[in-house]
């Protein structure tokens, strides 16, 4: 969930060079000109430089034009890709094996984010998820990383908000995927998500005739010897009608809700007999 030591070293060499250049132009932190000194400055000072860098996009263009540190073409292309950075506020929702999952609000997207240093779950050990943070997500070698600086807002989220975020996570992951790449090999915007790695799903068989038959048979199953049996058969009929409505009407309808209420009522009746 984090870059290799070699990748991390490369990133920070490029990133600190851009920060030192921005600082020299804007004079944010006194007496700082050497990129090697950026990493030793207080995090608040580095955040000031970072924020100023993104507030003045012309600095990136000038940095690329001047190439003050003589970077080779491939490394300069990595820096150029940062014009497609996503800066702002995010919610950290999950720590997965491959990356941490950030939720951005505008537009509402999930991002799979690697760390340039220690894994995020180690950096924020003891902080319960979700975290509300401010930072910048950068393209780096066909992946997405954060720039090593995250400001964490001290906010506690109640059960209702956490449940809502979990629903948002499930919906976006299923229908849009987790964004894993921001730019393509040519340096142009190219959003790729986790869905691109999934094999196309085979179409499911048409179960409608079979379920229709189950509904017809279940409707005949009304006589039973005990209250428990009658309740169980009632649940079978309600569940069969729910499946039938879902298969014949793929869009949400009032009939689906009515079927769901019938299932709950039938389940309640069965529970009372147990």
**pLDDT tens string for the chain (274 positions)?**
788 999 999 999 999 999 999 999 999 998 888 999 999 999 899 999 988 888 899 999 999 999 999 999 999 999 999 999 999 999 999 999 999 999 998 789 999 999 998 888 888 887 889 999 999 999 998 899 998 889 899 888 998 899 999 999 999 999 999 999 998 887 788 888 888 776 666 778 889 999 999 999 999 998 999 999 999 999 999 999 999 988 887 666 788 888 889 999 999 999 989 8
Rounded-to-integer distance, Cα 56 and Cα 69, Å: 20
Q: What is the per-residue pLDDT for 23? A: 92
The DSSP code sequence of 216-252 is HHHHH----SSHHHHHHHHHHHHHHHHHHHHHH--S-
Which CA distances in Å does 172 have to 39, 112, 178?
Answer: 36, 12, 7
> What's residue 133's pLDDT?
94
What single DSSP character describes residue 194? G
Q: Is the pTM higher than 0.75? A: no
Q: Which residue has the tokens 């030793």?
A: 40
Q: What is the pLDDT of residue 167?
A: 92
pLDDT the model gives residue 83: 92
Backbone angles phi, psi at 228, to 5 degrees: -65, -40
Q: Please give the pLDDT value at position 118.
A: 86
Q: Which two tokens stand for residue 69?
A: 């540190």
98-155 residue pLDDT tens: 999 999 987 899 999 999 988 888 888 878 899 999 999 999 988 999 988 898 998 8
- What's residue 123's pLDDT? 86
Tokens of 80: 């150029």
Q: Identify the burial level of 204 via C-beta atoms within 10 angstroms of its C-beta, where 0-12 means exposed, 13-18 middle and 19 or more buried.
A: exposed
Residue 117's pLDDT is what? 86
CA–CA gap between residue 133 and residue 214 (Å, rounded): 52
């Amino acid at each position: 969930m984090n870059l290799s030591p070699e990748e991390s070293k490369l990133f920070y060499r490029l990133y600190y060079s851009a920060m030192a250049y921005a600082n020299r132009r804007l004079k944010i932190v006194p007496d700082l000109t050497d990129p090697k000194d950026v990493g030793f400055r207080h995090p608040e000072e580095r955040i000031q430089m970072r924020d100023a860098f993104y507030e003045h996009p012309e600095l990136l263009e000038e940095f690329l034009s001047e190439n003050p540190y003589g970077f080779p073409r491939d490394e300069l292309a990595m820096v150029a890709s940062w014009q497609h950075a996503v800066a702002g506020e995010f919610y950290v929702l999950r720590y997965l094996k491959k990356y941490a999952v950030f939720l951005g609000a505008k537009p509402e997207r999930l991002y799979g984010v690697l760390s340039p240093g220690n894994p995020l779950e180690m950096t924020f050990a003891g902080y319960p998820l979700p975290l509300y943070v401010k930072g910048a997500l950068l393209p780096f070698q066909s992946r997405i990383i954060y720039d090593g600086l995250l400001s964490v807002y001290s906010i506690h989220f109640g059960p209702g908000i956490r449940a809502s975020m979990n629903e948002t996570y499930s919906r976006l992951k299923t229908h849009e995927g987790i964004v894993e790449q921001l730019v393509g090999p040519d340096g142009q915007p190219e959003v790729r998500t986790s869905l691109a790695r999934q094999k196309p799903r085979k179409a499911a068989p048409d179960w409608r005739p079979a379920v229709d038959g189950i509904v017809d048979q279940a409707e005949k199953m009304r006589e039973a010897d005990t209250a428990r049996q009658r309740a169980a058969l009632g649940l079978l009929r309600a569940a069969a009608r729910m499946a039938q409505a879902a298969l014949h009407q793929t869009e949400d309808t009032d009939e689906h809700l009515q079927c769901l209420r019938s299932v709950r009522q039938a389940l309640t009746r069965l529970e009372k007999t147990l």
